[in-house]
C-alpha cells in the first residue's frame, strides 16, 4: 500500500511540468573537443574511443585551470566558468555563501536538475545550525545562467550527446573551483553534497579531488544513461534519443559522466561517503543504486548507506524532506568534525 501511494504521488509530481520539450537528437561532437568527427570514424566510433580515453585519463578531464576572478558581494560569490559556452549567460558561476563559525569546516551544496533559486537553501541553513559553513552552487544553464530562450535547463541533460557531457563536466570543474575559493578563505575541512543530478556531479568531484574528504550523495545511481532511459522525469529526453542510439551505446558514451566507473578511484583513500537511495524511486530506480552499492562492496571501499521510505519527488516533501536533510547534515557534521581531531 505504501509503495502504491508513493508511486501515485511520484507520477503526479512528474506530470506537473507542462513545458518539457523533446529536443532533436545531435551527436554534439563539437561540444567535447571543438572538432567535427574525423572522416575515418563514424560518430559512434568516435564517441566510443573518446569515452575509453577519458576513463583511462580522467584526472586531466576533471581538473580545472585555476581562476583568480572570484568576487563576493553580500552572500553571492561569482567567478568565471572554466568552460566558455556559446551562451554567455552560462559562463559565470553563481554561488550563495552561508558562513558559520565552523572552525574551518565547509560543505559545497549542489541542487537538483531544474532547481530554482531557493532550492537547498533550507539545507544550507540546517548545515549552519549544525555548525558548518555552506556554499550553494548554481548548476550550468540554471537560474541566472539559463539562456532567455529556454524555459527549463534543457541543455544540462538533453539528446545532444556531446553537450550533455560538456555541461556535466563544466559543473564538476566548477565544484572544484569552489573548493579552491573555500580553501583560500581558510576552510581546511571540505565536504560535498548533491541531490539527484547534483549527487552525480558531487560524486564525480569527490572521486577526483583529494580535498573533498566527506560526501553525502542524495539519490545515487550507477550510470547516467540508465537514469535518463528508465526514469519518469526524463522520458522526453529518451524520446529524443530513441531511434538514434541504444541504451548500451548511450551507457558507453555517457560513462564519463557516470559515478560507477570512478568508484575505484576511492580505493585506499580515507574518505567518508554516504549513499542515499529512495525505496520507491521512479526516477533513479533502486536497482541502479544497488549496482553502485555492489561496486563499493566488490572493491572493498568503506561507505555508509541510507534508504529513504519514499520516492524521488516525495523526498522533497513533508515529512521526508526533514528526515533527508537531518540525515545529510548529521553525517556531514560528524565526519567533518572527526577530521579536525586527526
Mean pLDDT across the chain, nearest whole number?
A: 96
Question: For position 303, which CATH number holds?
Answer: 3.40.50.1820
Q: Is the pTM of this model over 0.85?
A: yes
What local confidence, expressed as pLDDT, does residue 141 receive?
98
CA distance 81 to 185: 19
**Structure-block grid coordinates of residue 135:** 556554499
Q: For residue 170, give the 3-state DSSP assignment.
A: helix
Kindly state the DSSP code that residue 298 receives in the 8-state scheme: H
For residue 94, the cross-strand partners are 78
Confidence (pLDDT) at 34: 60
Chain segment 20-29, per-residue pLDDT in tens: 999 999 999 9
Partner residues linked to 214 by β-bridges: 191, 272
Q: Within 13 Å and on the Cβ side, how many CA atoms surround 90?
A: 23
Domains identified in the chain, total number: 1
Question: Distance between CA atoms of 163 and 145, rounded to whole angstroms?
Answer: 16
Range of the domain at 301: 2-19+28-340
Q: Which residues of 43-66 are buried (b: 16+ CB within 10 A; e: fewer)?
A: bbebbbebbeebeeebeebbebee
Q: What is the dihedral of CA 252, 256, 258, 260, to 10 degrees?
A: 80
Render pLDDT for 27-79 as a digit per residue (tens, 0 to 9): 999 999 765 567 778 999 999 999 999 999 999 999 999 999 999 999 999 99
Report DSSP state, residue 122.
H
Amino acid at each position: 500500500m505504501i509503495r502504491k501511494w508513493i508511486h501515485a504521488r511520484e507520477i503526479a509530481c512528474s506530470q506537473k511540468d507542462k513545458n518539457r520539450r523533446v529536443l532533436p537528437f545531435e551527436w554534439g561532437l563539437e561540444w567535447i573537443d571543438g572538432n567535427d568527427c574525423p572522416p575515418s570514424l563514424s560518430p559512434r566510433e568516435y564517441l566510443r574511443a573518446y569515452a575509453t580515453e577519458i576513463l583511462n585519463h580522467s584526472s586531466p578531464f576533471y581538473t580545472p585551470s585555476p581562476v583568480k576572478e572570484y568576487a563576493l558581494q553580500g552572500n553571492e560569490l561569482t567567478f568565471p566558468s572554466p568552460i566558455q559556452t556559446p551562451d554567455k549567460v552560462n559562463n559565470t558561476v553563481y554561488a550563495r555563501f552561508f558562513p558559520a563559525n565552523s572552525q574551518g569546516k565547509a560543505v559545497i551544496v549542489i541542487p537538483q536538475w531544474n532547481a530554482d533559486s531557493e532550492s537547498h537553501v533550507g539545507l544550507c541553513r540546517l548545515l549552519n545550525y549544525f555548525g558548518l559553513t555552506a556554499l550553494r552552487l548554481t548548476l550550468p544553464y540554471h537560474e541566472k545562467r539559463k539562456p532567455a530562450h529556454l524555459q527549463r535547463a534543457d541543455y544540462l541533460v538533453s539528446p545532444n550527446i556531446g553537450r550533455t557531457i560538456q555541461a556535466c563536466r563544466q559543473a564538476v570543474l566548477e565544484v572544484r573551483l569552489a573548493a579552491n575559493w573555500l580553501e583560500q578563505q581558510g576552510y581546511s575541512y571540505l565536504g560535498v553534497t548533491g541531490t539527484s543530478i547534483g549527487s552525480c556531479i558531487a560524486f564525480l568531484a569527490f572521486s577526483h579531488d583529494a580535498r573533498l574528504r566527506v560526501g553525502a550523495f542524495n539519490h545515487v545511481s550507477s550510470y547516467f544513461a540508465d537514469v535518463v532511459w528508465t526514469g519518469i522525469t526524463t522520458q522526453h529526453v529518451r524520446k529524443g534519443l530513441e531511434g538514434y542510439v541504444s541504451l548500451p551505446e548511450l551507457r558507453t558514451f555517457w560513462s564519463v559522466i557516470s559515478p560507477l566507473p570512478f568508484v575505484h578511484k576511492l580505493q585506499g583513500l580515507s574518505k567518508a561517503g554516504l549513499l542515499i537511495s529512495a525505496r520507491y524511486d521512479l526516477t533513479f530506480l533502486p536497482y541502479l543504486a544497488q549496482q553502485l552499492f555492489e561496486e563499493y562492496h566488490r572493491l572493498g571501499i568503506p561507505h555508509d548507506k541510507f534508504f529513504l521510505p519514499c520516492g524521488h519527488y516525495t523526498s522533497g516533501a513533508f515529512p521526508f524532506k526533514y528526515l533527508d536533510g537531518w540525515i545529510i547534515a548529521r553525517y556531514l557534521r560528524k565526519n567533518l568534525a572527526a577530521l579536525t581531531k586527526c
